[in-house]
Amino acid sequence: MLKAIGKGVWHACLILAVIIVVYQLWMFACILWWVKFNPSSSSFMDDRLEVMQSKNPEAALKHKWVPYEKISPHLKRAIVASEDARFVDHEGFDWEALQKAYEKNLKKGRIVAGGSTISQQLAKNLFLSSKRTPWRKLQEAVITVMLELVMSKRRIFEIYLNVIEWGNGVFGAEAAARHYFGVSAGQLGPAQAARLAAMVPNPRFYDSHRSTRWLERKTSIILVRMPASEIP
């Protein structure tokens, strides 16, 4: 009896392992495809659209892909200054930023800082749902390694700028520039770019609260940091 149970458990574990391996290979194949071809959507975009359409079946996302060279360098510098100052130097993980975030969270007694890099944020947006699960951080790390392994920093950044959330149903630099300022992504000035970068941590909130004291302060800080930001 125990031998039969043990055999059944072994078979179940083997099947689970095969499923996990096949899933990782599928994600890696997608990443290889996206080295040359643009993703039309992301897991996070699909999740948001589902939520929006549950309230309004006619709802649609605002999103338009634009090539890297048609995105304002001001926005690129602003995002690096705000989200990942060492983006061009690290290999997917900024251990120094993670340590600082851990110490800050420990001091505050709650999560107030994340320390995720641009590559990690892209990994999460492309493949993972918004639901928090025990394995999510591990899977995010695996995807981050895959991205850094096969993509250039420029390509990672290009995809990131085109798929991140910037408001309620607003995704990517082009849609954000038009939604907030009525201009294309390539026409964004330094102050506009800094404000968009400041919105990234909580875009839906700042979509409906566009003049908070924190947003103004964060925008000013990013503006000061932008000239020193290195971009791919």
3-state secondary structure 80-103: HHHHCCCCCCCCCCCHHHHHHHHH
Q: SS3 for 62?
A: strand
Class at the top of the CATH hierarchy for domain 38-228: mainly alpha
* First-to-final CA distance of the chain: 61
pLDDT of res. 91: 87
Other C-beta atoms within 10 Å of 116: how many?
21
The CA dihedral of 44, 48, 53, 59, to the nearest 10 degrees, is: -100
62-63 and 165-167 beta bridge pairing: unpaired
Give the model confidence (pLDDT) of 65-106 as tens digits. Answer: 999 999 999 999 999 999 999 999 998 888 776 667 555 655
Measured between alpha carbons, how far is 142 from 120 in angstroms, rounded to an integer?
A: 9
Please give the residue that has the higher pLDDT: either 16 or 99: 16
**Is 90 exceeded by the pLDDT of residue 42?**
yes
pLDDT of res. 137: 86
175-201 mean pLDDT: 98
The two structure tokens encoding residue 104: 């800050």
191-210 mean pLDDT: 96
The helix (H) or strand (E) run that includes residue 118 is helix 118-127
pTM: 0.90
33-47 mean pLDDT: 96
- Alpha-carbon 83 to chain mean position: 10
Measured between alpha carbons, how far is 49 from 114 in angstroms, rounded to an integer?
A: 25
Domain ranges, ordered by start, for the chain: 1-37, 38-228
Measured between alpha carbons, how far is 140 from 85 in angstroms, rounded to an integer?
A: 20
